[in-house]
Structure 1
């Protein structure tokens, strides 16, 4: 059994047609069919049931295909790792992004990467912070753009921007017409928090330091993303601390909300890249950091 055999099996499972699978693998259909048949004989099980209505993956085949795909992904990571050391621009740069950041910075980040290395292919993965860390460990991603600082052995956090927090309320809320408020004026009891997997929740709790945080909100009300939060608030339910990079998109999506600035520099977060120590893409990452610092996204300030 070799990698090519596994590619054939994965292709047949995907297309459920030997002809299209052969085309995708750039071989003739007889050659692919013969190789799959040999593999079935070697394994002693039928992987695909050939019927008049088409090709169906058997139960045994389904399980074997899953393993084959895992092996193919691992083989690709081996190739990518070698490419990173041979030529850091040859392999895609895989970036993990936290969900309270990703929807609002992706176009900006893509443009910034293009300014640094326009030939570099990028792959983005939106994940909560703990999953970003797990995928860095498993090398599913190369770097993570996260809220920090994060101190983990074997990793380095490089801050690039400071993102302030604002208070988001309904246009009918008593604070809707306020341009700015002090931290003491935040109605702690009315705060709606995102779910626990988001670092924004922990950041909000740490900043407000009040046991009554959100006490006036309905117990079962829950939001997993900031767009959902904005819809809840537009209906007149409470308020929320929201990173200001989300402002433009959330206001476009929901004109019935208002952003109120908070006159306290502590109300914000440091955004930066988390990377493995000794990362072979280090010089690309540092160039990207300098590009972002020199031209930060609207609503954020540079960090050095």
Structure 2
């Protein structure tokens, strides 16, 4: 049994395809298949059910793959020990980030990381929270940037900042004349929402559900981006909720439509998350440091705010 063989069975399980696993491991499909078969023969078990498409592990195969992931994680610690003695941060960091954070945070952070750590290769994907958690557990991602708390014991959460939710209201709304509002004020508004699967959608619904369920009767439209939510309010009236960092992208005219919530303001907790067995601590700390460098000081403290669950 070799580490390479373990890497191959983990890859097949992750991508549910021998061809896809071979591509990710930079070997030919026959080479990968032969090594997996050798491991199966040595263990005298079938790790994968090849009759299914996509390919899936057998019952005992799932247990073997789970142990293989742990072995590979432990073996990676040897490299991390060596890396920790080196002054430069080098290697690859695979990051997943939710779409409602990415456009307002990443541009500045990426530029700083590339300048400060030229030997670091950043691979970044936008995913929903559910996909990020899955990819952390399967080893596809090293870390994620998303809203917490998650309530998952296999995930380590490192809270970084607390971002207020604000309301973006049409100038034709009866709420337009108010300086600040509470959730009850939104009862009769048509609220524009993100699609299913976005954690911010769940958070908005949690805010609007805080007293009466019947206010949800107006929540009928779904879209895929915060920018589209803003345009829908601009052109079709109604209201939506925005994360505070999105305000930097608004025009002066659009900023006039923003209303804050009365205290305690609803906020989302944004954290850097990893699988509990994650070991690239130096890379992680470097990323966290650069993120905090661009976050306003006022957003790094909870104060009297209500963290909205997802």
TM-score range relative to shorter protein: 0.5 to 0.7
Look up the match of 1:216: 218
CA 196–265 in structure 1, closer or farther in 2 if over 3 Å, else same? same
**Matches of 1:254 and 1:95, distance apart in 2:** 35
Structure-1-length-normalised TM-score:
0.66
Superposition pairs for residues 149-228 of structure 1, below 5 Å?
A: 149-187=149-187, 189-209=189-209, 210-217=212-219, 219=220, 221-228=221-228
Task: Summarize the Cα distance change of 1:157–1:264 in structure 2 as closer, same or farther, 3 Å threshold.
Answer: same
Shift of 1:255: 4.3
Q: Secondary structure at the match of 1:230?
A: helix
Match of residue 100 from structure 1: 100
- 1:65-76 mapped onto 2 (5 Å cutoff): 67-74=18-25
Once the two structures are superposed, what CA deviation does each residue of 1:106-159 show, in whole Å capped at 9, x if it has no partner? Answer: 113224535764532211100000000111112111000000012322320000
CA shift in 2, pair 1:175/1:267, >3 Å: same
Contact 1:245 1:299 in 2 (8 A): no
Query: Structure 1 residues 228, 254: closer, same or farther in 2, change over 3 A?
Result: farther
The 8 Å contact of residues 181 and 260 in structure 2, kept in 1 or not, is answered as yes
Which structure has the bigger radius of gyration? Answer: 1
Report the aligned-residue RMSD: 3.4
Q: Measure the CA separation in 2 of the matches of 1:158 and 1:287.
A: 13
Task: Provide the C-alpha distance between the structure 1 equivalents of 2:78 and 2:140, rounded to a whole number of angstroms.
Answer: 15
Specify the SS of the correspondent of 2:232: helix
Shift of 1:248: 2.1
Unmatched 5+ stretches in structure 2: 5-16, 28-71, 303-310
Equivalent position of 1:258 in the other structure:
257
TM-score after normalising by structure 2: 0.65
Q: Which of 285, 294, 297 does residue 295 from structure 2 map onto?
A: 297
- After superposition, the Cα gap between the structure-2 partners of 1:84 and 1:90, relative to the gap in structure 1 and judged at 3 Å, is farther
> Cα distance 1:299–1:202, how it changes in 2: closer, same or farther (>3 A)?
farther
Q: Which position in structure 1 is the counterpart of 2:268? A: 269
SS at the partner of 2:218?
A: coil
Q: Size of the alignment, in residue pairs?
A: 235
Q: CA–CA distance in 1 between the matches of 2:187 and 2:115?
A: 42
Question: What's the secondary structure of 2:107's corresponding residue?
Answer: helix
Instruction: For residues 264-292 of structure 1, give each alpha carbon's deviation from its aligned partner in whole angstroms, at most 9, with x where no partner exists.
Output: 33411000111122322123323443454
- Contact map agreement 1:163 1:269 (CA 8 A) in 2: yes
Distance 1:153 1:115, change over 3 A: farther
CA 254–177 in structure 1, closer or farther in 2 if over 3 Å, else same: same
How do residues 80-159 of structure 1 correspond to structure 2 at under 5 angstroms? 85=80, 86-87=82-83, 89-114=89-114, 117-159=117-159
The answer (yes or no) to whether the contact 2:187–2:208 under 8 Å persists in 1 is no
Work out whether residues 190 and 213 of structure 1, in 8 Å CA contact, stay in contact via their aligned partners in 2.
no
Contact 2:194–2:223, Cα closer than 8 Å, also in 1:
yes
CA distance in 2, matches of 1:84, 1:244: 40
For residue 216 of structure 1, report the CA deviation from its aligned partner.
2.9
